[in-house]
Each structure stands twice: as C-alpha cells, then as structure tokens.
C-alpha cells in the first residue's frame, strides 16, 4: 500500500463451544460424523419443537467472556435472525442481537516488537447452521448435513482496531490460543470449528472517518487470512486511485486465482428482522454460574509464560514454544510435577524443556501428546533425571527414548535390562584406558611426541570397549592423566 492510505480491519470469529450436546437440544454436537446422524425435532425445526438452553454452553461462553476481559451481562436476550437458505430449516437462526452475553473485552497482540491492544465490541451466543454439501456423489446434486445445525457457537466481534494483515493474524492467533487454553474451543481452522470473516476498508492517512468496507469469507487458514486481506487492501486502493468507489459487499477468497471475488453486494443485503425469541426466556447468568465459570477457568497462556519465565527461568522462546498448545503445556507441567520439590522442579525445567523440543516434538505433533502418546510425563521426567545425574549419557538416553516410544515403560527398567547405565567409576575407566594404551604403544609414543589428534582415537577405542557407556568427562580426564605419564 502506498503511504497515502491506511488499512482498517475488524474481525468476526465464530468459535464452536466444546460441549457434548447442541445448544438447544440433546443431540450430540459432532459435525464430522456420518451426515444426519445427530439430529432431532429441534435440530430440524419441526413444528412444535421447543428449544431448551444447554447450561454447559452458557458456562463456556461466560468463561470466554471472562478470559477475554469482557463485561459479562447478568441478563441477555436470544433473538431470531431470519434468512432463507437450505442450511436453516426453521427459517431463522437463534442468535443474540442488541443484548449479547458479553460486552467489551480485548486481546493483546505483538507485531514486530510492538504491543497493541485490540478491543472487542461483543461476544454473543448463537447456534450453528447446517452444512451444504455441493457436488458430493453427483455434480448436479447438493446435500445438507444437519449434524452441524444447532452446535453452540460464540461470535467474537472485534472493533476495527487492526491496521495490517500481520496484526489481524496476530489477533487471530492470540484469540485462538486463549480460547483453547480456556477449554472453550479446539481451535481447528481447517475443520471450521474456528472460523473468521475479515472486514476491510482503507482511508486516507490521518482521516478519522471509516471507509466503505468489504467482508471477506472463505479464509480458513492463517495464510489465507493474510493473503486475502493484503489482496483486498491493494484492490481497494487501486479502485480509489483510479477514481472509483469501493462497494460495500461480501467477497470470497479464491485460492486458485489468488484474489477475492464478489459474492453479494449491499443491494442484496439481508434484512434479518431480528426480534427476541418468544420460545426462550431471558438468559440469566446468576452468581452461582459466574463462580462456576471462574473456578473452571484454567491459567491462560500469557500468565503461564510469565510464570515459567520467572519461576523456571525459561527464555521467551522456550516459553513460547511450550505454550503453543494446551496439550503440550500440560505435558510440560505434568512432567515437572514429578520433581521432589520446588527447587528440583526449577532445576529440571530447562532440561525437560530442551528434551521436549529437541526429541519429543520431532516425531509427535503437540496436539498428539494428549492422545495416545506412549511416553508418560513420569517416564520423561525419569529419563531427563538420569541424564542430569550423569547415570545415562545423552546418547544412550536417545536409545532409551526410542524404546519408550516403541513400547512405553520405565527408563530405569530399560537401562537395567539393557545394561545402558553410564560408567563414571574412575577405576573401571582406568582399567579400560590402560588396556588400550598397552595395546597401542606406537600410537602412545606418537601422541607423546606431539600428535595430539590421536586423543580422538583413544576416546573412540574406550567408547567401543564400553559400548558407549564411559562417562565422557571422566574418560577425558583419566586419559589425559595416563597419556601425560612418563614414557616407560
């Protein structure tokens, strides 16, 4: 973008709440199963079916509000939002309009070292629509999967506080992280349980009024979000620079053509005819619900990183990597929980953090840690402790780790069964060294005449004879002392 204009971006995020059942009925909230297996009278909007609100969904929505610093409303109202589309059997979506559950709030971001607070307008609760499947099976047919209809969502509406695609991405990442750590949402962009629409406009630098915006859809990855926003900023600028006017419309990111294309313009904008849903009473958040939500809210990522840095002395980088996913963060914490006391925990933190990054995350993605990962936090702690105490060389630790990955079990048991423990006993090392020197008198003489590079040969011999178990430091010292000895 040229320096004459600045971009203004506001994001609307739909996040599915992690409930077992739907927002207004007992059907299971599982949208990736065989189509139309989790449905019922309420889901299908059959005449006479009445909604009853899922309290767990409301608790999760309140937790989201608390986690994001919103003003949680004691009274809010469900409203009907009308439109006609096959994915909406009732002819309206139950949402919230002028009295949402959560008002205000904020997400703090950092872009190239600059911290910035993005403020929120609101977070409201609503039901998801069904999913239209076009051209599945036959190109000429469309199908509707009602499994998704009625799954609880929160819509997080930001104020137009962002000024670049980088800020928009940072906002989305931070928001997703908070919702995942709060246990409210699984953060899955590809499957669509965390979806974003981006509103983009530009205005002359220094102007205080907002320009006409377009709303971008179909941006289900961080990369698409960035590319679609950048494209749109450039497109709007070229429209204005060539004397035209930006049209308020909804546009869709087309990944194949690397551009946004118009979907519907304002002329076709919906009149949703919102009104309070007469089937539902006002949504009341009482003190009991509020305190349950507070109690259920775990430590959030920012607080976690601050604590890890101050208590464990982790670097910004390590704290960032280990808090990339709640599953990984929990694994790290549970591993350290096996330390005997606070000081042992602090001492083990850095080695455990290193081991997780260098070995564990090499083979398993961080969200795989929660599922069927065979290495338990207890086993990892034991393994790292064996290395820290010098009982196991880091090289042999890898062997033990591979065994743990393959079969699970306890590192101590594996070390004992395979005879892998490190030899630190100097008299044992001395015997090995003396035998090697005695077998290689010519090399000993050459070393003593200045061919110091031969030390590597002696170390190699000693490691070979001990199956790599000699403590490298002790071996080096014993070897130096023996090689320095008087030539006989």
Out of 44, 49, 159, 350, point to the residue binding ligand ADP (CB under 6 A).
159
Q: Which stretch binds ligand ADP (CB under 6 A): 21-29, 31-39, 155-163, 396-404?
A: 155-163
- Least separation in angstroms between CB 12 and ligand ADP: 5
Out of 19, 158, 185, 193, point to the residue binding ligand ADP (CB under 6 A).
158
Residues ≥6 apart with Cβ < 8 Å to 253: 216, 217, 218, 219, 224, 227, 228, 231, 259, 260
* Strands 114-127 vs 106-111: parallel, antiparallel or unpaired: antiparallel
Q: Which is nearer to ligand ADP, 8 or 400 (CB)?
A: 8
Q: Which is nearer to ligand ADP, 161 or 277 (CB)?
A: 161
Q: In the stretch 3-22, what mask flags binding to ligand ADP with x, by CB under 6 A?
A: -----xxxxx----------
What CA–CA distances, in Å, run from 54 to 36, 51, 62?
21, 9, 13
Q: Which is nearer to ligand ADP, 211 or 377 (CB)?
A: 211
- The answer to whether 199 and 213 are in contact (CB under 8 A) is yes
- Least separation in angstroms between CB 118 and ligand ADP: 10
- The answer to whether 185 and 179 are in contact (CB under 8 A) is yes
- Least separation in angstroms between CB 160 and ligand ADP: 4
Site for ligand ADP in 172-231 (CB under 6 A): 199-201, 210-211, 213
Q: Which residue is nearest to ligand ADP (CB)?
A: 10
- Least separation in angstroms between CB 108 and ligand ADP: 17
Q: Which is nearer to ligand ADP, 96 or 385 (CB)?
A: 96
- Least separation in angstroms between CB 283 and ligand ADP: 20
Tell me the C-alpha distance between 345 and 328, whole Å.
17
Q: Which is nearer to ligand ADP, 130 or 246 (CB)?
A: 246
Max CA separation in the chain (angstroms): 105
What CA–CA distances, in Å, run from 297 to 70, 182, 382, 383?
14, 6, 31, 32
160 binds ligand ADP (CB under 6 A): yes
Residue 130, φ and ψ in degrees, nearest 5: -70, 175
- Least separation in angstroms between CB 58 and ligand ADP: 22
- Least separation in angstroms between CB 63 and ligand ADP: 22
Tell me the C-alpha distance between 23 and 152, whole Å.
5
Residue 236: exposed, middle, or buried by beta-carbon count in 10 A (0-12, 13-18, 19+)?
buried
Q: Which is nearer to ligand ADP, 208 or 372 (CB)?
A: 208
Q: Which is nearer to ligand ADP, 199 or 220 (CB)?
A: 199
Tell me the C-alpha distance between 22 and 127, whole Å.
8
- Least separation in angstroms between CB 282 and ligand ADP: 22
157 binds ligand ADP (CB under 6 A): yes
CA angle 407, 408, 410 (to 5 degrees): 125
- Least separation in angstroms between CB 292 and ligand ADP: 30
452 binds ligand ADP (CB under 6 A): no
Residues ≥6 apart with Cβ < 8 Å to 87: 129, 130, 131, 132, 144, 149
Please give the radius of gyration of the chain, using alpha carbons only, rounded to the nearest integer: 31
Q: Site size for ligand ADP, by CB under 6 A?
A: 15
Binding site for ligand ADP (CB under 6 A): 8-12, 157-160, 199-201, 210-211, 213
């Amino acid at each position: 973008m040229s320096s004459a204009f600045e971009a203004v971006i506001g994001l609307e995020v739909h996040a599915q709440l992690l409930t077992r059942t739907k927002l207004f009925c007992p059907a299971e909230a599982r949208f990736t199963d065989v189509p139309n297996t989790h449905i019922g009278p309420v889901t299908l909007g059959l005449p006479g079916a009445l909604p009853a609100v899922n309290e767990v969904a409301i608790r999760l929505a309140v937790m989201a509000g608390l986690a994001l610093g919103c003003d949680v409303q004691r009274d809010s109202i469900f409203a009907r939002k009308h439109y006609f589309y096959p994915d909406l059997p009732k002819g309206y979506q139950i949402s919230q309009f002028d009295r949402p559950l959560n008002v205000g709030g904020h997400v703090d971001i950092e872009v190239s070292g600059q911290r910035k607070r993005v403020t929120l307008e609101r977070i409201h609760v609503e039901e998801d629509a069904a999913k239209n499947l076009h051209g599945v099976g036959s190109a000429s047919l469309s199908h509707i999967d009602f499994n998704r209809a009625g799954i609880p969502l929160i819509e997080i509406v930001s104020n137009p506080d962002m000024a670049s695609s980088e800020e928009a991405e940072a906002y989305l990442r931070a928001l997703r992280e908070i919702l995942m750590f709060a246990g409210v949402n699984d953060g899955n962009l590809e499957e669509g349980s965390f979806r974003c629409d981006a509103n983009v406009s530009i205005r002359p630098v220094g102007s205080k009024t907002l320009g006409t915006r377009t709303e971008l859809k179909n941006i289900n990855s961080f990369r698409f979000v960035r590319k679609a926003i950048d494209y749109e900023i450039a497109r709007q600028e070229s429209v204005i620079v060539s004397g035209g006017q930006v049209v308020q419309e909804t546009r869709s990111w087309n990944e194949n053509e690397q551009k946004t294309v118009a979907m519907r313009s304002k002329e076709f904008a919906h009149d949703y005819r919102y009104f309070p849903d007469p089937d539902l009473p006002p949504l009341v958040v009482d003190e009991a619900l509020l305190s349950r939500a507070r109690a259920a809210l775990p430590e959030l990522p920012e607080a976690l990183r601050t604590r890890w840095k101050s208590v464990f002395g982790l670097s910004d980088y390590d704290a960032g990597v280990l808090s990339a996913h709640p599953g990984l963060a929990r694994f790290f914490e549970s591993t350290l929980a096996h330390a005997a006391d606070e000081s042992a925990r602090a001492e083990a933190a850095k080695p455990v953090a290193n081991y997780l990054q260098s070995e564990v995350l090499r083979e398993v993605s961080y969200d795989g840690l929660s599922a069927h990962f065979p290495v338990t936090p207890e086993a990892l702690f034991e393994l790292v402790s064996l290395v820290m105490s010098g009982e196991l060389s880091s090289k042999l630790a890898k062997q033990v780790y591979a065994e743990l990955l393959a079969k699970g079990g306890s590192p101590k048991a594996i070390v004992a069964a395979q005879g892998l423990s490190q030899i630190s006993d100097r008299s044992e090392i001395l015997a090995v060294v003396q035998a090697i020197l005695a077998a290689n008198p010519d090399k000993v003489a050459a070393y003593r005449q200045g061919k110091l590079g031969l030390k590597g040969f002696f170390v190699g011999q000693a490691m070979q004879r001990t199956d790599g178990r000699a403590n490298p430091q002790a071996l080096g010292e014993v070897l130096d002392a023996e090689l320095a000895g008087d030539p006989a």
